[in-house]
Amino acid sequence: MSEILYHREGLLGPRIELHIAPEGLTLVGRGGAGSAEFAPLADVAGVSAAPMGRKATVTISFGSARSAWVIRGMHPSVAEWVERLVTEEQSAVAKLASPQHNRRLSVDEITRTCSEIVADADGRAAVDLADLILAQAVLHGASDVHFDPFSERVVVRFRQDGVLQDVVTLDGGVKQRLTSRLKVVSHLATFKNAVAQEGRAALKIGGRTVDFRFSSIPTIHGEKVTARVFDPARSIFDVGKLGMTAEMLSLFVSMLMQPQGTILLTGPAGSGKTTTMYAALSYLHEHKRNLSSLATVEDPVEYDLQVVNQTQVNNASGLTFANALRTVLRQDPEVIMIGEIRDRETADIATQAGLTGHMVLSTVHARSAAGVLLRLVDLGVEPFLVASSVTAVLSQRLVRAVCANCAREYAPSGEESGRFRLKGGERLQMGAGCEQCNNTGYVGRTGIFQLAPISDTMREMLLRRSSLNDLEGQLENEQTGTLLADGTLKAAAGVTSLEELSRVLG
Ligand SMILES: [Zn+2]
């Protein structure tokens, strides 16, 4: 029985899986896969493995507790292959940790560096391009990187502050190799190009380990690869940094601290709902005395919150939102976050839980705060249950913040003053565009909100089955504010611009 011990001190973070499938072994031409004999891996902290046989897929997980990887009883030819793979990966990670990848380059510099890499083509062009682009995406604070294939070129785009920006256009000659490299990095099957695939990778950039979630889908011009960036430096969840006014924040946390109730968030995809819920959980963890437990049911789990029991929905294995929620509730958590309510069962269980000693946080797809309540009724929840369980609805959007480096004060036009009901005297700002904001005039984002506590009048109206219009009118009477009013307040303070509010609110 041979034993190989790889020390991977701090190189890779948790949740990294390396799938070594027999076809993968054949593909890289190391041979020996067919005759390989696998024995079960020893159970070591941080290392787990599926039962292995001649044809089994070996899954090795790197735990966060121990940065060691132990493989026992592996056929020598396979062991040699694995060793080589690890060495290659270590050098790739070490390379990303080098100083040139810790400095944010301007878009022009990225373009120039990419051309230099392609020009010196020494067989490593694809590796160097992938490293450079992924590292720069992180340094630019991008949330996604898109590699869009066209017939003669590949366009690399970063999503920054919610908006996709073209960064560099590469010649079609590197398309195939770059795609293969990205698939190798993210442990996707390089030989499968007609199916959609998902994979993960962790790379060390700027002194920290950044997770990437990759997906590849076939298009008529080749595979389109996208990578979502999960940067720990951007995952600090603090209710004080969401962008709520002091008054709204104190109302929001006072509702969170109630022993029971249901707080529902609404807003389109990418409007910051998950961040708000994570920030709320972090607040409760820090401030609620004798808090027994916090749990989540999510699809997908976006960040590992460490102090919360997070459950990932898995429809393929029957662990739907409703099933997962039922199971989690048996353990009686004090606070539960549900990624999304989109079916009757989940809606029923969630609203019941909010009435029986749990604080429930979730999201519901609707066009307005009042629409959230009617959406639950449309899903089949009894109006009295909605009326008695829901404490508040928080509607939100994310707006880009004006770049402090190139901000200029300006006077609004008459049309803007009318549309935004400006009183005059506001200090409106607009970014002129500079190197620091990639000429967009914006850096970072902040939330705009409407927080609507559900009043007794609203409850009665729900029981009487009032219309959406009437419910919305009532919220207006109660002066719960609007997204536009909250946004205008932020534009008047120079945080965002009127142009940005128009873009987000339509
Ligand atoms: Zn700027």
Q: List, for residues 249-271, the tens digit of each pLDDT value.
A: 999 999 999 999 999 999 999 89
| Rounded average pLDDT over 408-434 | 90
| Rounded average pLDDT over 346-354 | 96
Q: What is the model's pLDDT at position 305? A: 78
Q: What is the model's pLDDT at position 99? A: 57
Angle between helices 246-256 and 273-287 (to 10 degrees): 70
Residue 122 has pLDDT above 50, yes or no: yes
Distance 408 CA to ligand 1 centre (A): 10
**Is pLDDT larger for residue 433 or for residue 304?**
433
Distance 455 CA to ligand 1 centre (A): 43
Q: What is the model's pLDDT at position 95? A: 55
Least confident of 82-91, 149-158, 166-175, 485-494: 82-91
Residue 201 banded pLDDT, cuts 50, 70, 90: confident
Q: Which residue has the tokens 């690399």?
A: 156
Residue 5 banded pLDDT, cuts 50, 70, 90: very low
Distance 432 CA to ligand 1 centre (A): 6
Distance 163 CA to ligand 1 centre (A): 15
Distance 155 CA to ligand 1 centre (A): 24
Residue 102 has pLDDT above 90, yes or no: no
Distance 161 CA to ligand 1 centre (A): 13
Strand ranges in 150-221 using DSSP code E only, listed in sequence order: 153-160, 163-171, 197-205, 208-219
Distance 128 CA to ligand 1 centre (A): 29
**Is pLDDT larger for residue 217 or for residue 20?**
217
Q: What is the model's pLDDT at position 299? A: 87
Segment 368-371 long-range contacts (CB within 8 Å, at least 24 positions apart): 368/266, 368/395, 368/468, 368/472, 369/266, 369/393, 369/394, 369/395, 369/450, 369/452, 369/472, 369/475, 369/480, 370/452, 370/468, 370/471, 370/472, 370/474, 370/475, 371/266, 371/468
- Residue 451's closest CA among 423, 425, 486? 486
| Rounded average pLDDT over 94-104 | 65
Distance 398 CA to ligand 1 centre (A): 19
Residue 124 banded pLDDT, cuts 50, 70, 90: confident
Distance 276 CA to ligand 1 centre (A): 27
Distance 140 CA to ligand 1 centre (A): 13
Which range among 48-52, 151-155, 169-173, 448-452 has the greatest average pLDDT? Answer: 448-452
The region that residue 444 occupies, defined by phi over 0 for left and psi between -120 and 50 for alpha, beta otherwise, is left
Q: What is the model's pLDDT at position 272? A: 93
Distance 407 CA to ligand 1 centre (A): 7
> Across all residues in the chain, what is the average pLDDT?
80
Residue 121 banded pLDDT, cuts 50, 70, 90: low
Residue 85 has pLDDT above 60, yes or no: no
Cα gap 197→225, rounded to integer Å: 9
Q: What is the model's pLDDT at position 483? A: 95
Residue 286 has pLDDT above 80, yes or no: yes
**Is pLDDT larger for residue 75 or for residue 252?**
252
| Rounded average pLDDT over 32-37 | 28
Distance 438 CA to ligand 1 centre (A): 7
Distances (CA, A) of 126 to 145, 174, 433: 16, 7, 32
Distance 494 CA to ligand 1 centre (A): 14
Distance 269 CA to ligand 1 centre (A): 26
| Rounded average pLDDT over 95-121 | 80
What predicted TM-score, i.e. pTM, was given to this entire model? 0.72
Distance 404 CA to ligand 1 centre (A): 7
Distance 306 CA to ligand 1 centre (A): 36
**Is pLDDT larger for residue 317 or for residue 54?**
317
